């Protein structure tokens, strides 16, 4: 295995933003600050609770697409939400179907948007385990998944990925990585070391361009354990900011 890249320097910032998206992302950070001030002083409820209220009010029960549409509309028309979004979400769904995966692991759930996109493509013999560190987000996600009628094949573990992964005890054939950007590579290596990745498993990583995840990309593209492919996209809910997903197939037996 080639692994000669230097580890990125520790920083309190969990990512480095792509230059072409810098101003756009700064405007989202500013929006987020205003949101936090408003919710702290109870001028408004958090946007995530607003979304849940809309889903409770407007979604059709057991209709995942109606839940996804409400969440997308909110993110396009009202305030940014850090879901994978519709363009990359469709790529994720295609990958789930094409991989024929039946034991899937998801790192980073937020409001359950990508979770719903994965679950709606599973049959009765397949299952998804998701890890989310924020209990408030996890509770909202669980309600979105229940309303979608998709909770049967799903387990959500509340905790930090780096603490949860060493305690997992089954092998996965599809891993969706979309959590703390600084942890993508560390958690992938931890999954390998803990023998949790099946031969030919698909590793689908979001936001690899938006956040300049060079060390992650260098690893999966140079390691003989992976056959890796990049798909260019736009950032979620944007028509202009570049982003992309990296899909890497794990070759355990080389
Ligand atoms: C980009 S959002 C996930 C979006 C979701 N995959 C979707 O497309 O709908 C990232 C999420 O990862 C969670 N997170 C951050 N660090 C984490 C960690 N170490 N372990 C688990 N979850 C984490 C955050 O709380 C946040 O909800």
Q: How far is CA 59 from CA 45, 72, 94, 115, in A?
A: 20, 13, 24, 17
pLDDT of residue 123 exceeding 90: yes
Query: Is 117 among the domain residues?
Result: yes
Strands (E), the chain: 103-107, 127-132, 154-158, 172-177, 197-205, 226-234, 242-250
How far does the centroid of ligand 1 lie from the alpha carbon of residue 48, in Å? 13
Binding site membership of 83 for ligand 1 (Cβ less than 6 Å): yes
Instruction: Specify the pairing of strand 197-205 against strand 242-250.
Output: antiparallel
Query: Is 10 among the domain residues?
Result: no
Q: What is the dihedral of CA 193, 195, 200, 204, to 10 degrees?
A: -60
Confidence (pLDDT) at 20: 73
Query: Is 173 among the domain residues?
Result: yes
| Residue 178 is among the residues annotated as catalytic for this protein | yes
Q: pLDDT for 163-221, tens place per residue?
A: 999 999 999 999 999 999 999 999 999 999 999 999 999 999 999 999 989 999 999 99
Share of the chain above pLDDT 70, in %: 93
| Residue 136 is among the residues annotated as catalytic for this protein | no
Confidence (pLDDT) at 181: 93
Query: Is 1 among the domain residues?
Result: no
Beta bridge partners of 204: 176, 247
Query: Is 7 among the domain residues?
Result: no
Query: Is 180 among the domain residues?
Result: yes
For residue 57, the domain's CATH number is: 3.40.50.150
3-state secondary structure (DSSP) of residue 197: strand
Report the mean per-residue pLDDT for the chain. Answer: 92
Instruction: Considering the candidates 72, 106, 173, 178, report the single residue annotated as catalytic.
Output: 178
3-state secondary structure (DSSP) of residue 114: helix
The predicted model scores a pTM of 0.91
Binding site membership of 113 for ligand 1 (Cβ less than 6 Å): yes
Closest ligand 1 atom number to CA of residue 113:
9
| Residue 207 is among the residues annotated as catalytic for this protein | yes
Beta bridge partners of 127: 103
Instruction: Considering the candidates 47, 181, 225, 234, report the single residue annotated as catalytic.
Output: 181
Instruction: Considering the candidates 206, 225, 234, 246, report the single residue annotated as catalytic.
Output: 206
pLDDT of residue 5 exceeding 50: no
What tokens appear for 199 in the block? 């031969």
**Cβ-based neighbours of 241, under 8 Å, separated by 6 or more:** 18, 20, 21, 24, 25, 210, 234, 235
Query: Is 206 among the domain residues?
Result: yes
User: Which structural domain range is residue 211 located in?
Assistant: 19-250
Query: Is 12 among the domain residues?
Result: no
Confidence (pLDDT) at 218: 97
Counting the structural domains of the chain, the total is 1
Q: pLDDT for 23-67, tens place per residue?
A: 878 888 888 899 999 999 888 999 999 999 999 999 999 999 999
């Amino acid at each position: 295995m080639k692994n000669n890249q230097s580890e990125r320097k520790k920083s309190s910032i969990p990512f480095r933003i792509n230059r072409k998206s810098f101003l756009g992302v700064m405007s989202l950070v500013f929006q987020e600050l205003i949101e936090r001030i408003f919710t702290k002083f109870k001028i408004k409820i958090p946007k995530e609770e607003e979304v849940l209220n809309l889903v409770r009010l407007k979604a059709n029960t057991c209709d995942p697409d109606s839940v996804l549409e409400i969440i997308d509309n909110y993110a396009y028309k009202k305030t940014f939400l850090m879901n994978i979004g519709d363009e990359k979400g469709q790529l994720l769904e295609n990958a789930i179907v094409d991989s024929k995966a039946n034991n899937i692991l998801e790192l980073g759930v937020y409001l359950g948007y990508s979770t719903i996109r994965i679950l709606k493509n599973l049959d009765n013999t397949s299952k998804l385990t998701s890890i989310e560190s924020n209990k408030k987000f996890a509770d909202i996600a669980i309600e979105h998944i229940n309303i979608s009628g998709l909770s049967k094949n799903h387990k959500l573990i509340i905790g930090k990925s780096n603490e949860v992964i060493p305690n997992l005890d089954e092998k996965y054939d599809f891993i969706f990585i979309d959590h703390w950007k600084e942890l993508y590579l560390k958690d992938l290596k931890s999954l390998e070391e803990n023998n949790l990745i099946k031969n030919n498993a698909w590793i689908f990583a979001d936001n690899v361009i938006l956040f300049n995840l060079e060390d992650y990309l260098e690893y999966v593209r140079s390691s003989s354990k992976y056959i890796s492919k990049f798909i260019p996209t736009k950032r979620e809910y944007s028509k202009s900011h570049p982003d992309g997903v990296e899909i890497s197939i794990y070759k355990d037996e080389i």
